Amino acid sequence: MALQAKLYLKLFIKCRIASLNIYFNSQCLKRGVTPKFVSIKSCSSSPAAQHAISTAKKVWVQKEVKMWYSKREAICHYLFILHMELCSKLHPAEFQVWEDRVRSRTKSICDAKRKVLNQKLYILSRVLRNSDTQSNPKLRSCDHKFAPRVVNLSNSDLSPSNLVLLNKGLKYAPVIPTTTNGYKNLAADCDTALSREPIGTKQLIANIISEDIKKPPFYSSRPVREDLTLKMLKKVIKEGELAVVKADKGNSTVIMDRENYISKCQNFIASTNSENLLKDPTPSYQRLVKGGVEVEALWVKKDRQRSKEQSLVGCNETVFSSYLGSLAASIIPSPYVWGRRMVSYGISSSSRPELMPQDTILLSRMPLEDAAMEPR
C-alpha cells in the first residue's frame, strides 16, 4: 500500500515534468530558437551546410516533442491503473487527502521547473535578437513615435488627474460609487423578480445582498477617486466651453474650444456644397422600399404557382382535376371574385353551375392574369 502511494507520487511528478518539457520544446519551435542540448557540428561552413544544420536542429526538436508526448501517455496509463487500485483500497476521504498532498507537493516542484524553463527561453530569445540586430543594422534603431493620447488645443489647462482619466479613452467607464437611489432600485428589482418565491428564499437573498452592501467598496483602496476626477473634468469642460472629440485618425482625444469646433464644422459643410433639405426624405424612401418588397413577394408567389402548374403538365386527368379544385377554393373565396371569373367566361354569376372535370380543365387552361381582369 505504501509502495503504491509512493509510486503514484513519483509518476504524478514525472507526468507534470513531461508536460513542462513539451511546453519548452514547443516554445523553442514557435520562437525559432534552438535549445543548448541540440548541438550539431560540421566540418564545412558553406551555406548549404549551415542550412542543413538548421534543418536538422529543427527536426531534432520536433522529434523531442513527439518523444515526450509518448512518455507522458505511458505515464498516464500507469497512473490510471494506480488510481483505480488506490480508490479500491482507500476510503474516498483518505484518497482525497492523499491526492491533495500529492498535488501540493507537485505544484511546488513544477513551479520551480517552470521558472527555470522560462528563464532559458528568455536567454535564448535575447541571444537570437542580439544576433539579428548585429546582422541587420536597420533593426538597431526605431524612429517610430506614437501619437499622444490627449491633444489639448484649447486655452484651458487640465490637471494631471484629468489627463490621466482622458488617457484611458472616451469609452472608458470610470468607477462610480453606488448611491442610495441605486440601492432602492436594486431592492425594487429584487422584490419584483422574487414575487412568486417563498418568504424564506426572499429573506436569504436579502441577507446576501445586505452583506455585500456592508462590505467596503473596492474603489476605496484606489489612490484616486475616479468619480471625483470625472466631476472636476465635467466642471472644467462646462466652465471653459470646451469640446472633447475623438480624432479622425488614430486613437487620440482632442480638446478644443467649442466656438472653434463649431466654426470648423460649418466650414466643412460649406466646402462640400451641402444643401438644407426642406423635408426629411426618409419616409418616402421607406415607402418605396416597402412597396418594392411587396411587389417582389407577389411576383415570387406567382412564379411558384406557375412553376407548380407547369410541373402538372402531362399528368392524368383525375390528378389535374383535383389540383384545380383545391386551387379554385384557395383563389376564389368570395362571391364577387366568383362572379368576375364566371362573367369573364360568359357564365352568369347567379346560376353558379356545378363544374365537371372537363369544364374545370377547360377553365384552368386560361392564364391566371385573365382571371383577375375586370369583366367586359
More confident residue, 219 or 26: 26
Inter-residue contact 61 to 38 (CB < 8 Å): yes
pLDDT at 62 over 50: yes
User: Which are the contacts of 339, defined by CB distance < 8 A and separation ≥ 6?
Assistant: 349
Distance CA 73, CA 198 (A): 53
Distance CA 169, CA 322 (A): 71
More confident residue, 254 or 356: 254
Tell me the mean pLDDT in the region 42-69.
89
Tell me the mean pLDDT in the region 102-107.
88
pLDDT at 136 over 50: yes
What is the pLDDT of the chain when averaged over all its residues?
Answer: 77
Answer positive or negative: Cα dihedral of 44, 45, 46, 49.
Answer: positive
Residue 142: strand, helix, or coil: coil
pTM (two decimals) = 0.40
Inter-residue contact 178 to 227 (CB < 8 Å): no
Residue 353 grid cell = 353551375
Tell me the mean pLDDT in the region 258-278.
87
Tell me the mean pLDDT in the region 227-247.
89
The amino acid present at 337, given as its one-letter code, is V
pLDDT at 64 over 80: yes
pLDDT band of residue 16 (cuts 50, 70, 90) is: very high
Tell me the mean pLDDT in the region 329-347.
41
Distance CA 99, CA 84 (A): 13
Residue 147: strand, helix, or coil: coil
Inter-residue contact 193 to 201 (CB < 8 Å): no
- CA count, 13 A, side-chain hemisphere, 178: 14
Tell me the mean pLDDT in the region 345-366.
41
Rg, C-alpha atoms of the chain: 41
Q: What pLDDT score was predicted for residue 21?
A: 93
Residue 313: strand, helix, or coil: coil
Inter-residue contact 177 to 227 (CB < 8 Å): yes
Neighbouring CB atoms inside 10 A of 337's CB total 13
